[in-house]
Copies of this chain bind each other. A is one copy, B any other.
Amino acid sequence: MHISQFSDYSLRILIFLAASDDVASARSIAKSYGISFHHVAKAAQFLRREGYVAATRGRAGGMWLAKPAEEISVGAVIRKSEEGNVALVECMKPEGKRCAIVPVCRLASALRKAQQAFFSTLDDISLADVTSNKPALRSLLFAA
C-alpha cells in the first residue's frame, strides 16, 4: 500500500515551511531533506497552484506558506496530490485492463469505502498538528 512520492514531497515542503516560519528556496528544501531538487520544484509548483504556498522568483526568491498551518488539512493536500492516483487496484483505473466481474463487483465499493476512511482520518489533521514540535524539526532541518 503506497501513496506517491509526489504526495510525500509535497507534505515535506509544507512541513519545512511551517517549521521554518520563513521564506525558503526549493534548493534549500531539497538539500535539507537530501532529495531531488527537480522533484521538490515540481511539488512546489503544485502547492502554489493549489494556493498552499506563495512564491517570488529570482535570486533572493523563495516560497512561504500562503495560509496559516492551522488552516491546511493534511487530508485535503493528499486528496489533491493523489488525484491522478486514486486507483487502489487495476480495475479502478479508467484506462486499466478491465476485470471480468467489474459490472457486479462489490469488492471495489468496499475498497472505495476503506479509501474514504483513510482520507477522512487525515482530513481532521492540520499542518499545525504535525509541526507542533517546531524546535525539534528545526534542529534536524537546519542543522547543516
Contact = CB atoms under 8 A, between A and B. Distances in A.
Interface in A88-111: 88-91, 97, 99-101, 103-107, 110-111
Interface residues of A, number: 52
A66 interface: no
A11 interface: yes
Contact of A107 (B33, B74, B119): B74
Q: How many copies are assembled?
A: 2
Given A11-B107, A100-B33, A101-B137, A3 B129 contact: no
A44 to B, nearest CB: 17
B106 A131 contact: yes
Contact of A104 (B104, B119, B137): B137
A100 B8 contact: no
Interface of A: 1-5, 7-8, 11-12, 15, 32-34, 74, 82, 85-91, 97, 99-101, 103-107, 110-111, 113-115, 117-122, 125, 129-133, 136-137, 140-141
